[in-house]
Structure 1
Amino acid sequence: MLKRYLPILQWLPHYNRHAMVDDTLAAFVVTLMVIPQALAYALLAGLPAVVGLYASILPLVVYTLFGTSRTLAIGPMALISLMTAAALSKVAPQGSDAYIEAAITLTLMVGILLTLMGALRLGFFANFLSHPVISGLLSASGVLIAASQLANIAGLPGSGFTLTTQLANIWHHLDQLHPLTLAIGVVSLILLLAIRRSRPLLERIGLSAIWAQFSVKMGPILVVGISTWLCWVCDFAAQGLDVVGDIPSRLPPLGIPSTDGEVWQSLLVPALMISVVGFIESVALAQMLAAKRRESISPNQELIGLGTANIASALSSGMPVIGSLSRTMVNFDAGARTPAAGALAGLGVALVTLFLTPLIKYLPIATLAAIIIASSIPLIDIATIRRTWRYSRSDSSAMGATIVLTLLEGVELGIMAGVTLSIALFLYRTSRPHSALVGRLPGTEHFRNIDRHEVESARHLALLRIDESLYFANARYLEDTVYDLVAKHPDIEHVVLICSAVNLIDASALESLEAINNRLDDSRVTLHLAEVKGPVMDKLKSSDLLDHLTGRVFLSTYDAWRTLH
């Protein structure tokens, strides 16, 4: 039981020197990558840059204790930072002490919600966000994140969390554009995008695939170093260029977040949204990488791991954290063997925070904005949007609504709309289950749709296959289907409902089956069932349906055909 809630006890007894070497190397690479990202995502959330560093220390250590993924890298993430800024803007003005305190409170609430969801084993709730909705949310968020940084990259005041407000803000303040800031931001962005595409060139000039990939991943470090050095040498700050400024060289202060009931009430819905989105993204990423190594993770324990990591972040003056795609992939590619790599990366960030923050003083805000824009571009997945449109117009409508509402009304409303539409589409599809009259393929025991195959059939026998579980939303539709079938074929004497695809019959559907049985009996038509699955049959046996069924329950459709034909 203890190993279940403390996964570290499963791998720590087998930890050896080789694993430690691999984890240390991976932690070094991730630490280099975390620094500019942590600073940038804190900026995106409207928080002091140091908060991003604080959120990349203790949470990583705590996740090592409670997380089940061996390669998931915890930390601030672009989408969650955007959602954090949107939530906090309704509570306190950006830059105020109340804003920072609200951020810590929000982080604690996210941690508590995730931990409770894990303890109650509610990981299945994440399934209510379909993949098209998630893809639409990420694509729209990528656009929002990039648009939110256009003001910073041009030296303009930022405002708004929807695309229309962000673009309107830029238009209204265009006369305040700062040429030097724009130059630094645009050049930084061009360098970041060029480095990202430089791997083939680096391999052609002689670098191995591993070193070429490493060089590309370290692109943000190079851009940060160059822009910071230029700003320091040329004293661009004196010319109006916004820089990070002084960052305290100390470990994060420990404390307790606000206990103001109004603040907690205002942040409850955003905290729930951040919890669900963060969990879905983290678990999907962790499962994908675990499968590559033939490992497994526990979604419910991941909820606890992410929850305790956020609680640790709140207690150490941090911001909400989840599994980061870019850092996790770097961690995986760098050869991380256990969650200890995350703890070592947290130690590395702590050392940077203690001893190297003076080097970040002259880092231009425009460079951090460029890093955010470059990291948000991959979120815009045009290929998936096109593929979903070609495959399913209903799914693409949910995706489209999520994209439009996220862009025009914000991430929270986009998520709620996506979840609502996903559930509505599911109910609509299952409320009108596909059914088919089937016949026997000549000379076989197989039965297929009479409209698709050349089959044998009988005028007095209707073999009706139901391709959906039966529940309250489709119970009446089933009745109408059977009654319409009998009305159109007056020679029918036997109706066999083939239940091979039925995994559930709820109370409403049971009443409908009883009504069908009685009405067909009045019409001198016998109702039979075939291929009823074991768990469904167990439930039927606890009802009166089988006692009053006018026909029989057949083990197979072929048995029904052979008996009734």
Structure 2
Amino acid sequence: MSFFSRLFPLAQQLTDYGRDQLRGDLSAGLTVGVMLIPQGMAYALIAGLPPIYGLYASLVPLAVYSLFGTSRQLAVGPVAMVSLLVAAAVGPLANGDPALYIGLTLLLSLMVGVLQFGLGVARFGFLVNFLSHPVLSGFTSAAALIIGFSQLKHLLGIDLPRSNYIHEILWAAAGRVGQIDPLTVLLGVGSILLLVGLRQLNPSIPGALVAVMTTTGLVWAFGLDEHGVSIVGSVPGGLPAPSLPPLGMENVWALTPSALAIGLVGFMESIAVAKVYAGRHRYDIDANQELIGLGLANIAGAFFSAYPTTGGFSRTAVNDEAGARTTLAGLVAAGVIALTLLLLTPLFYYLPNAVLAAIIMVAVSGLIEWKEALHLWDVDRKDLGLMALTFVATLALGIEEGILAGVIVSLIVVIYQSSTPHTAIMGRLPGTDTYRNLKRNPEALTQSNVVVARMDANLYFATASAFQDLVRRIDTQDPSLQAAVVDMYPVNRIDSTGVGALKKVIETCRRHNVALYLAGVKGPVKDMLDEAGVTRMLGEDRFFFEVSGAVDAAEADVEPTDSGVESPLPDTPA
């Protein structure tokens, strides 16, 4: 692949491009562009911005990602999750100043883009692995509830204070029940029913656009805005003019934690859906190039009035169903947004805010992952606990605190699992030279004076203690024990701490007059043992390629015993 193709993945996608692909990309681009108009305006409300900024965020970032991204179906733009994180980050710093709020939002977009681009260039795409799926599921489910309840003020037509805590929203709404506007509720609830009904009837129908057109027409025809229905009002036309976000260091430091959270969470959401569709269409996703593409999209968007964006689940599904085959579909969708900004913004004057709230509520309802919770109940209740912890922390502590708590617990789990690897005492399967875990294969044969053990992990500082414990258990349980064979095949890497642990094991075995044999030591590990003097300390004749060979040598060197006798040593947990 040439440098140009690596820099611009779209060039590689257009190789052998034909009429069928063009037809699919045009259809998908038009569909997603139409879908983005009401959806982008709705998500801007979540971010605390005027609706027009949702269209701005759907223009330049989408076009830039289409040039640099590797996912052929991913539809980039404003999403509910990132919009909520933006509001949580910028709201406390803006102090009610609309101009400052917008400026800080654009600065945040620039910071997110620089972070993602930097991580991509540094090949740090692997960092996304530290955000486990249960953590994201718990955070997503809690955030979906917060987003949904945050739209109550638009759905009910009452003024409620902005809050990221559901109980505060409900308490404030309960105190203003008498102020609820019936016409607003009728439009909002009717729109929800219309959106759900159209989705059930035919998912390819742009339900959000139908709801917007229908309710806007009703407000205009019957003058409902004069009877208490809140409308969007004047929407500025024209393409966004380039501008420089405010770059004060005080604001940069204040927004840095939020930029980290948005950058990683946005990338996680994007890469998760991108991998799904890459698998369906049998092509590869480059995680580092995805970071670069998303980073450039946010950097460019920051100079054209776009708040942070990423790939969206629902839009990507629509993009795929409508026939997208390359990221050219994204350029077509961006063109639709550009034409809307140039020609169609006056049509949104009578658009009721209740309908945008309905669009948001229906969209985020699918983010509440109750099915995942049921699945984890059956499969892994530890992961269910991790999901529940993140869910509760997000609701109780706040958006950023919730995701931070989930990440910290994930890292603790990683450290715990790394330091407590699976270990096994092994026996020979009857009639074979194969050795397996006695816990799972009780029919396996053992020798009372030769024990075979295995640790399923690399031997390094985190597992050194577990390795010593395994061998220490072996050589102190039975006075008749004469030899121990350690299957080293699972060990792909060993560090200085691991070398030290192995030397202590050799010394311990010598004190108990137990001969130690190592089987399956791989080349790089053997090189390390040679350089560290372990091979000389143990003896070259104690290394074998196979466990069976090591056991045969051990049996030849020790006093004979009857085969098939169950080992008196306790098994380690399976």
TM-score class, shorter-chain normalisation, is over 0.9
4+ residue segments displaced more than 4 Å: none
Q: Which residue of 2 aligns with 1:485?
A: 474
8 Å CA contact 1:114–1:304 kept in 2: the answer is yes
Distance 2:27 2:15 in 1: 21
Instruction: Report the alpha carbon displacement of residue 13 of structure 1 after superposing the two structures with TM.
Output: 5.3
Q: Which residue of 2 aligns with 1:460?
A: 449
% same residue: 40
8 Å CA contact 1:164–1:408 kept in 2: the answer is no
Q: CA, structure 1 residues 555+309, in 2 after alignment: closer, same or farther (shift >3 Å)?
A: same
Secondary structure at 1:496's aligned position in 2?
A: strand
What's the RMSD between the two structures over aligned residues?
A: 1.6
8 Å CA contact 2:457–2:463 kept in 1: the answer is no
Query: 2:357 corresponds to which letter in structure 1?
Result: A
Secondary structure at 1:371's aligned position in 2?
A: helix
Q: 1:15-30 to 2 correspondence within 5 Å?
A: 15-30=17-32
Q: Which residue of 2 aligns with 1:380?
A: 368
1:57-96 per-position Cα deviation (integer Å, ceiling 9, x unaligned)? 1111111221111111110000000001100112103561
Q: Which residue of 2 aligns with 1:411?
A: 399
Structure 2, unmatched stretches of 5+, are 556-574
Match of 1:560 among 539, 550, 562: 550
Match of 1:371 among 359, 362, 370: 359
Secondary structure at 2:425's aligned position in 1?
A: strand
Query: 2:445 corresponds to which letter in structure 1?
Result: E
Match of 2:183 among 155, 180, 184: 180
Query: 2:314 corresponds to which letter in structure 1?
Result: S
Secondary structure at 1:497's aligned position in 2?
A: strand
Distance 1:166 1:408 in 2: 13
Distance 1:434 1:468 in 2: 8
Deviates more, 1:4-13 or 1:320-329: 4-13
1:290-314 per-position Cα deviation (integer Å, ceiling 9, x unaligned)? 1111111211011010001111211
Match of 2:39 among 18, 37, 40: 37
1:442-498 per-position Cα deviation (integer Å, ceiling 9, x unaligned)? 110111222332121111111011122222223123212321222212211211111
Q: Which residue of 2 aligns with 1:248?
A: 236
Match of 2:163 among 153, 160, 165: 160
1:500-559 per-position Cα deviation (integer Å, ceiling 9, x unaligned)? 322332222221111111121122112221122333333333322122125612111111
8 Å CA contact 1:394–1:425 kept in 2: the answer is no
Q: 1:418-429 to 2 correspondence within 5 Å?
A: 418-429=406-417
Deviates more, 1:166-175 or 1:147-156: 166-175
1:137-159 per-position Cα deviation (integer Å, ceiling 9, x unaligned)? 21111111111112221122242
Q: Within the alignment, does 1:395 sit opposite 2:370 as a pair?
A: no
8 Å CA contact 2:10–2:68 kept in 1: the answer is yes
Q: Which residue of 2 aligns with 1:78?
A: 80
Q: Give the TM-score taking structure 1 as reference length.
A: 0.94
Q: Give the TM-score taking structure 2 as reference length.
A: 0.93
Deviates more, 1:265-274 or 1:553-562: 553-562
Deviates more, 1:541-550 or 1:12-21: 12-21
Instruction: Report the alpha carbon displacement of residue 17 of structure 1 after superposing the two structures with TM.
Output: 4.0
Secondary structure at 1:465's aligned position in 2?
A: strand
Query: 1:227 corresponds to which letter in structure 2?
Result: T
Distance 1:37 1:538 in 2: 59
Q: CA, structure 1 residues 491+405, in 2 after alignment: closer, same or farther (shift >3 Å)?
A: same
Match of 1:193 among 185, 192, 196: 196
Q: Which residue of 2 aligns with 1:170?
A: 173
Q: Within the alignment, does 1:496 sit opposite 2:485 as a pair?
A: yes
8 Å CA contact 1:38–1:52 kept in 2: the answer is yes
8 Å CA contact 2:426–2:452 kept in 1: the answer is yes
8 Å CA contact 1:51–1:319 kept in 2: the answer is yes
Instruction: Report the alpha carbon displacement of residue 191 of structure 1 after superposing the two structures with TM.
Output: 1.6
Distance 1:363 1:561 in 2: 79
Q: Within the alignment, does 1:472 sit opposite 2:461 as a pair?
A: yes
Distance 1:254 1:173 in 2: 42
8 Å CA contact 1:496–1:527 kept in 2: the answer is yes
Instruction: Report the alpha carbon displacement of residue 121 of structure 1 after superposing the two structures with TM.
Output: 0.7
Secondary structure at 1:197's aligned position in 2?
A: helix
Instruction: Report the alpha carbon displacement of residue 265 of structure 1 after superposing the two structures with TM.
Output: 0.9
Secondary structure at 2:447's aligned position in 1?
A: coil
Instruction: Report the alpha carbon displacement of residue 50 of structure 1 after superposing the two structures with TM.
Output: 0.4
Q: Which residue of 1 aligns with 2:115?
A: 113
Deviates more, 1:392-401 or 1:375-384: 392-401
Query: 1:373 corresponds to which letter in structure 2?
Result: M
Q: Within the alignment, does 1:266 sit opposite 2:254 as a pair?
A: yes
8 Å CA contact 2:135–2:407 kept in 1: the answer is yes
Q: Which residue of 2 aligns with 1:220?
A: 208
Match of 2:99 among 83, 97, 100: 97
Deviates more, 1:336-345 or 1:188-197: 188-197
Q: CA, structure 1 residues 119+447, in 2 after alignment: closer, same or farther (shift >3 Å)?
A: same
Match of 2:432 among 444, 468, 478: 444
Q: 1:506-545 to 2 correspondence within 5 Å?
A: 506-545=495-534
